[in-house]
Chain A
Amino acid sequence: MGDDPTVPQQMHDRPASQPIHSKVAGCGALLLALLLICGDGWWVVYFLGLDFDSSGFVVFLFLLSFISPLFLAVFAIKAGCQMIAPSAEQVLAHDKRPPVIYLRPFAEDTRFIVSIPVGPRNGGKEIISTKAVRASHEGAFKHALKRIGPVVTIGKPGDRLAPLGAARLYVADSEWQVKVEALVRSAAAIVICPETSAGTSWEVHEVAHLIDPRRILMVVPNPKLRPLGYARIQALTTQTLRVPLPTDCKAADAFIFDEAGRPQPLIFGEKLSSTLHPFIEQVERLSEPLGGTA
């Protein structure tokens, strides 16, 4: 991998692999979930009507037989939804508005925020994390930005089921940059989570050079909680943006940009659609679709 972000990079040589998309299988999974839930309900009624010795073991068996199908049902519902969720191609064919393109490192899909430092520990008392929330705001972006257009992203190669959230486009490694460039040129807005990896920094460079900065929502590590992550991204923007992100920012979850490319910080509130209102309005004011404004 070279360091020059202007040079297209071939990440690997993986062909496009499509996740399972099947309405029949998805509906089957949802039906199975329904049957499991109904069966569980029937089992509770039946069990409570039985005349039995309520020893601890029997209660344990009952709980096991009650909880296990519920877990299976939740799994089946999620898998079913993933299988029937439309692909990016279907979404773009159905919704003719210019899309919102979500660009992020693939690792962001599976990153969680936990309450303790992560790593193996030797000795002492064992502790647990009291929270584990997804770091990604993808689902919230999808809902908040649907006013602008359908939210589309590149899928992680090897996904067996497309994650719920933005509609995914699965492409071969040899063509992802061509696809991303085409998507960026056609986009109404771009949500980008910059990183210093070769692929993502190429995306930052492309976005910065291809489109009006007012259409960009740049999601950054909040310097209040991840000062080193923010510093890394700030340094990246000194090479890619007309006006880099500020070095002395105290807190920000994202930046929007004015016409001159000057960044304005945003801090995500409980309701992301309210936080993103200035961005959505700004994009809506730019009614013309994008296309080679460099």
Chain B
Amino acid sequence: MNVVNKYVSLDVALAANGDAGSASAALSDIPVWIGREHVYCTVKKGVEVHELDRLVWVYAEMYRSKYGFQRGHQLVMWDRDSSASVLPLKKPYIDASLDRFRKAAPWIPVGYNEAMKESWNADRADYIALVDSFRAAGGRFEADWAGSEIAVVRLKPES
């Protein structure tokens, strides 16, 4: 996983990564904030910092238990090492969280659909190469097969 480090507070994390003074209260409800080169994520015991350039796919997912008693949302960020950071997220903040990625890192595909999932699972090297090509060109990720849906997933029974 591309966790650069874990910090006890946002201020410490920002200062350590050269983004001091730029986040203000941005992490109060939305669990992610994006600096110049890093993504700051609030977790249970502090702040996790990821390298922005290593992220290759971001989407929100709605989980539900088998009979629908337990529901919720979370933000999923996949990195080029094929591992994901998952952050609990309240439904009203889904769009704002995803918009932060769209604005700060337009080359990252933001959203979900079957074609993206299958491409990730079966054609990952090509997928990452495509994202890299948009990043290198400094352009917005654009592919007619990419989607902007929210993934609907099943919660593991014991969790």
Contact = CB atoms under 8 A, between A and B. Distances in A.
Given A123-B85, A125-B63, A118 B155 contact: no
A113 B118 contact: yes
Given A113-B118, A123-B86, A125-B86, A228 B123 contact: yes
A182 B155 CA distance: 51
A129 B118 CA distance: 13
Contacts of A120: 1, 82-84
Given A128-B154, A225-B114, A117 B78 contact: yes
A271 interface: no
Contacts of B158: 126
Contact of B121 (A118, A127, A231): A118
Contacts of B127: 228
Nearest to A135: B122
A229 B120 contact: no
Interface string B115-159: 101111111001100100000000000010100000101111111
A110 interface: no
Nearest to A229: B123
Nearest to B84: A121
B154 A122 contact: no
Contact of B154 (A121, A127, A229): A127
B52 interface: no
Interface residues of A, number: 29
Contacts of B120: 117-118
Q: Is the interface of A mostly helix, strand, loop or mixed?
A: loop
Interface string B68-111: 00001010101000111111100000000000000000000000
Contacts of B27: none
B86 A119 contact: no
A128 B84 CA distance: 14
B154 A124 contact: no
A226 B122 CA distance: 8
A91 to B, nearest CB: 31
B121 A114 contact: yes
Interface in A222-277: 224-229, 231-232
Given A119-B78, A125-B159, A227 B84 contact: no
Contacts of B123: 221, 226, 228-229, 232
B13 to A, nearest CB: 16
B85 A122 contact: yes
Contact of A227 (B61, B119, B155): B119
Contacts of A111: 122
Contacts of A113: 118, 121
Given A127-B156, A128-B154, A226-B123, A117 B84 contact: yes
Interface in A183-231: 221, 224-229, 231
B33 to A, nearest CB: 16
Interface string A13-36: 000000000000000000000000
A130 interface: yes
Given A113-B118, A122-B86, A224-B115, 19 more contacts: A115-B153, A116-B151, A117-B57, A119-B78, A119-B83, A119-B84, A120-B82, A120-B83, A121-B86, A124-B74, A124-B76, A125-B155, A127-B61, A129-B154, A130-B154, A226-B118, A227-B115, A229-B123, A229-B126
Interface of B: 1, 3, 43, 57, 61, 63, 72, 74, 76, 78, 82-88, 114-115, 117-123, 126-127, 130, 143, 145, 151, 153-159
Top 4 A-B residue pairs of the complex, sorted by shortest distance between their CB atoms? A124-B86, A228-B126, A126-B156, A228-B123
